[in-house]
Amino acid sequence: MKKVIVTGVTGQDGSLMADYLLNNVPDIMIYGGIRRLSVPNHKNINHLIHNNRFSLLELDVTDSENVKNVISEIKPDYYVNFAANSFVGNSWRMPVNHFNTNCMAVLYALESIKNFSKETKFYNAGSSEQFGDVEYYPQDIKHPFKPRSPYGASKCAAHHLVKVYRESFNLFAVQGILFNHEGKRRGEEFVTRKITKKIAQIKKSIEQGKQFSPLELGNIYSRRDWSDAEDFIEGVWKMINQEYPKDYVLASGETHTIKEFINYCLDIAGINGSWVGEGLNEQFISDKTETIIKINKEFYRPAEVDLLLGDSTLARQELNWEPKINFQELVKKMFESDYNSV
């Protein structure tokens, strides 16, 4: 069997990658890298625990000695790094943590692969936040990196490291720049999941005649290029199995505001009403004069990226990849999952 280490396996992307490999790639053994926690969160991988092609592995990507020992012992065919601190808003409060997790961890893995397992194919998860203060639309792989957050800066640093090790030591190392990708397993601190779960809770409360608190958000006019995370996992696997290592952008090629995401979710939920007010006083009021959504300045970022729109033409042409789930289907899937679970 071939061997793959998937870090961040309890998160959205890591768990989806494990699912994808088990369902589509025969004769591969998956080592799910997890950091030891006092209260483990295995919700996304509970269904895999008893699969004989899946094994949990204690791996703290910020511990260079741990990373070295794991890679030198297993000598994996693939090392897929989804482990990250990926909550952009939090990166201003925890910049060192973001660089340790998102950048230094990549350096530790690349050094270990170079020294102990040079045939390992390495993939690191990049982000559209690398582009930051964008110069043109849509953003392709040639767009300069101009990050606007410590998170974006950490991903840029990792990207440069991947390129340096690829060119200096002839490693198969790539970093995919993935635009926003969401789904049922998205963390509840991310704005899309925050919206779908809270609106699902509000819908249930309305149906049951219960009181509820409104959904509070920051800048609802930021525009993002959203896709379904499951579509991106296939693209990542294609990227790491090309003949020669090359970085790609994965994106839907269309953009929507957070407000559009909200409106479509409200439509699916059958919550009718209208937006009133402006700026920090803007609110969505239901037909029954209930405040469903209001703006909270605490959720604004110190520096905002107003519009991100990806150009994934190269990935579509060279990897024969394209997303299958559109924006509306994504919002519907996320809301219905939350509605059925709250």
Tokens of 62: 């910020």
> What DSSP letter does each residue of 172-197 carry, written as one string?
EEEEEEE--EE-TTS-TTSHHHHHHH
Query: Any idea which residue has 């490693």 for tokens?
Result: 171
Parallel/antiparallel/unpaired status of strands 256-257 and 223-224:
antiparallel
Instruction: Give catalytic status of residue 151 as yes or no.
Output: yes
| Among 151, 165, 248, 264, the one annotated catalytic | 151
DSSP 307: B
Q: Could you give the count of Cα atoms lying within 13 Å of 62 in the half-sphere of its Cβ?
A: 12
Point out the catalytic residue in the list 78, 79, 108, 129: 129
User: Does residue 86 have an active-site annotation?
Assistant: no
Q: Are strands 2-7 and 78-81 parallel, antiparallel or unpaired?
A: parallel
> Which 3-state string (H, E, C) describes 100-165?
HHHHHHHHHHHHHHHHHCCCCEEEEECCHHHCCCCCCCCECCCCCCCCCCHHHHHHHHHHHHHHHH
Decide if 306 contacts 218 (C-beta within 8 A): no
Sign of CA dihedral 95, 126, 323, 308: positive
* CB contact at 8 A, 59 and 89: no
CB atoms within 10 A of CB 234: 19
Cis peptide before 76 (omega within 30 of 0): no
Cis bond upstream, residue 147 (ω within 30): no
Q: Are 5 and 31 in contact (CB under 8 A)?
A: yes
Catalytic residue among 15, 127, 149, 312: 127
The answer to whether residue 127 is catalytic is yes
> Could you give the residue numbers annotated as active site?
127, 129, 151
